[in-house]
Amino acid sequence: MLRIIHTLTIIALCVSSSVSLFAQGDRTVVADEQARLVQGGFQFTEGPAVDSQGNLYFSDIPRNQILRRDPDGKISVFAEPSGHSNGLCVCGNWLLACEMDGRLKMFHLQSAQETILATEFSGKRFNAPNDLIVDSSGGIYFTDPQFRAPQPLPQGTEAVYYRSAAGEITRVVESLKAPNGVILSPDEKTLYVIPSMDSKMWAYPVEEPGKLGTGKVLCELQQAPGEENGGGDGLTIDEAGNLYITSRSGLQVCSPAGELLRVISLPEQPANVTFGGQNRTTLFITARTGLYQLEVSHPGHIFPGNTAVLDAAAQPEKTEDNDQ
């Protein structure tokens, strides 16, 4: 009889929760139990990033647009065409973008002036740059998987690259299938790479900017029903080093030690996520046709980047003197 009561209690707790049945561990990382729809009607949203003024930028890949949502909630087109931009990252006055048409570039936040940062490696165009993160030296790690890339792949392989502050490109990871999301730990001593076709999430020690040690498996994602080796997509990180990874199962929260803390279900499959809001405790989640938000307990980490390096890389704006 006691066993029956215990079983019924567990079932009742599971049914009453709006969080996935996979949820476990420290439940305090999430303040709200449900994500709220901010705006729908998009085609495929990706790459959210927030600037210091509270503006949220995100890509709508099929529409070939980068959109901007201001702190009052008004959404406008920031850049069109965007080169089918995917992952975005703000550093100082610059919005960096992975262009799935084969380039790494950035836009000035005020003028939307575009600067191309990288187009090729070893004389061949990139496949389809997907996601990126800027380190404090001004170097940029970015993934280059197969999604939306020409076939056969221009690079012949899927990889992670590093653009140094001096503009040199090196290939730093080439052992993963479909490397997608990428981010640094708050102390920038670990690079996390999220593959989309493997349940294993990877962590690489950063020996120096652009030089990685041997990677190890950080954690394995919980699988959606009917899936056996599904991976992640995008991710973000909070000040405590917890990772928020988008997947077919929802938003999976993983500790720096690799413990799965939560799996949060959403109405649509999430693609990417970032921190924003007044205290950086709001998660903005791009999920197929919708933009969602969710309140969490730990503030998001702010990467300082290196604005001076990006300023130096920018192309000078045209003037009448330059035109002559």
Tens of pLDDT along 207-218? 999 999 999 999
SS3 label, residue 191: strand
Contact between 212 and 179 (Cβ < 8 Å)? no
pLDDT at 324 over 50: no
The domains located in the chain, with CATH, are 18-313 (2.120.10.30)
pLDDT for res 315? 65
Q: What percent of the chain has pLDDT over 70?
A: 87
What is the tens place of the pLDDT at every residue in 63-121? 999 999 999 999 999 999 999 999 999 999 999 999 999 999 999 999 999 999 999 99
Residue 251 corresponds to which amino acid?
A: L
Could you please report the per-residue DSSP string of 26-67?
-GGGBS-SS-EEEE---S-EEEEEE-TTS-EEEEETTTTEEE
pLDDT at 20: 37
* pLDDT at residue 30, rounded to an integer: 65
> Which tokens sit at 129?
């740059």
- 160 within 8 A of 142, measured Cβ to Cβ: yes
* Burial (CB count within 10 angstroms: exposed 0-12, middle 13-18, buried 19+), residue 108: middle
Which pair of structure tokens corresponds to residue 205?
């020690």
Task: Dump pLDDT digits (tens) for 165-174.
Answer: 999 999 999 9
220 or 29, greater pLDDT: 220
Separation between Cα atoms, residue 237 and residue 181, nearest integer Å? 12
Whether residue 249 contacts residue 263, with contact meaning beta carbons closer than 8 Å, is answered with yes
- Please name every residue paired with 294 in a beta bridge, in sequence order, or none if there are none: 283
In this prediction, residue 34 carries a pLDDT of 84
Which of 197, 206, 199 lies closest to 173 in space, CA to CA? 206
**DSSP H or E stretch at residue 102:** none
What pLDDT does 31 receive? 59
Task: Mean pLDDT check: name the lowest of 114-118, 187-191, 211-215, 223-227.
Answer: 223-227
Q: How far apart, in whole angstroms, are the C-alpha atoms of residue 142 and residue 130?
A: 7
Evaluate the omega torsion of the peptide bond into residue 316 and state whether it is cis, within 30 degrees of 0: no
Q: What band does 7 get if pLDDT is binned at 50, 70 and 90?
A: very low
pTM for the whole thing?
0.89
Q: Which residue in 93, 148, 95 sits closest to 125, CA to CA?
A: 148
Locate 315 and state its tokens.
Answer: 């192309």
Three-class secondary structure of residue 231 per DSSP: coil
